[in-house]
Amino acid sequence: MIEADLPARPRSELSLRFGRFRQNRLAMASVVVLTFIVVACFLGPFLFPFTGQDADFDAINLGVDFTSIHLFGTDDFGRDLLVRTLEGGRVSLTIGFLGALVAGIIGVMYGAVAGFVGGRWDRVMIRVIEILYAFPYVILVILLAMLFGGGNVALFLAIVFTLWLTPAVIVRAQAQSLARREFIEAARAGGMTRRQIIVTHIVPNTLSTVIVYGSLLVPEVILSESFLSFLGIGVREPQASWGNLIQAGRATMSTDIRLLLLPATMLATVLFCLNFIADGLRDAFDPNDR
């Protein structure tokens, strides 16, 4: 019991848990594959003498040909498919990781404050979350994307605005139980302000949970982005994203499935990897599974 009431030491605890994560082969393989895809998306396009938006009307609808410069061929504007897919990945991945990070930070702060301060503030704050939860998630994103006027920034804001809810709820529950612990009591008696306690004690102690759920946020954001781009509401032509490339590929799929398959495979692979990594992190971090 004495041990349980000591404040957790995030650093040593974290390194222990990452050690456990490293033993998960599937998760580690996913990290390798994901790293490869990320590097390819961000650096790959520079290897080619054209960009994904350069139309080459002498090379329209080329097929897969690994000996030519257009490895996976071109679309009906003569744009290189591989380069477009990599550039699309750059957009999707950026929105994915950045969105998860921002949504995570907002959620953690909101949840920590609501859970720690408690009382009337908490009731108001949790009510707000409940109401936002009543909207079907994608509907809310579409509404907000409309409200923010369309475009990548609007899309990003809309996704962040809807996805901070889950981390907020989870962190709130943790903060509530932490607020009753003795070391918080001690910090309060020692004259720390609420803000100091939240920043130095509450937030670091919810870190394990946040890492687990944060890792689940990334695929969710990527999925939403490509979902909306697929519907034509998110990233728009001529800029590429995996969502609108899949939508474009669908138009020609009955004759030429290549335009659908390459971006779809990339998206599915990334989602697989992110899910396996999230699973691995949960196994290594989940406090219920010690």
Partner 1 sequence: MLLFLIRRLADGLLTMAALLTLTFFVMRLAPGGPFSSNRKISPTIRANVEAAYNLDQPLVAQYLRYVRGVLQFDFGPSFRYRDYTVADILLNGLPFSLTIGLWAALVATVTGVTLGILGALKRNSLLDYSTGTIAVIGIAIPIFVLAPLMQVYFAVMLRWFPVGGWNDGWRSLVLPVVALALPNIAYISRLTRNSMIETMRENYVRTARAKGIGRGRVIRDHALTGAILPVVAYLGPATAAIITGSIVIETIFALPGIGRHFVDAALNRDYPLVMGITILYGFVLITFNIGADILRGWLDPRVRHD
Q: Interface residues with partner 1 (CB under 8 A)?
A: 130-131, 134-139, 142-143, 145-147, 149, 219, 223, 226-227, 230-233, 243, 246-247, 249-250, 253-254, 257, 260, 264, 267-268, 271-272, 275
C-alpha 110/C-alpha 106 separation (Å) is 6
Burial of 44 (0-12, 13-18, 19+ CB in 10 A): middle
Give the nearer residue to partner 1 in terms of CB position, either 76 or 130.
Answer: 130
Angle formed by the axes of helices 258-285 and 207-231, nearest 10° = 170
In whole angstroms, the minimum distance from the beta carbon of 178 to partner 1 comes to 25
User: At closest approach, how far in Å is the CB of 133 from partner 1?
Assistant: 9
Closest CB 246 distance from partner 1, rounded Å: 6
Q: In the complex, what is the shortest distance from the CB of residue 243 to partner 1, in angstroms, rounded to a whole number?
A: 8
Report the nearest approach of partner 1 to the CB of residue 160 (Å).
17
Which of 199/269 has CB closer to partner 1? Answer: 269
Considering the complex, state which of residue 8 and residue 264 has its C-beta at the smaller distance from partner 1: 264
**Residue whose C-alpha is closest to residue 208's, from 26, 5, 1, 21:** 21
Number of residues in the chain: 290
Phi-psi region of 119 (alpha: psi -120 to 50; beta: other; left: phi over 0): left
Closest C-alpha among 125, 221, 124 to residue 168 = 125
In DSSP terms, 74 is beta-bridged to: 80
Q: Specify the residue, 110 or 230, whose C-beta has the smaller distance to partner 1.
A: 230
Residue among 109 and 245 whose Cβ is closer to partner 1: 245
Least separation in angstroms between CB 253 and partner 1: 5
Closest to partner 1 by CB, 46 vs 135, is 135
65: tokens are: 């040909």
The dihedral over CA atoms of 252, 273, 86, 78, expressed in degrees to the nearest 10, equals -10
Contact predicate 275/267, CB 8 Å? no
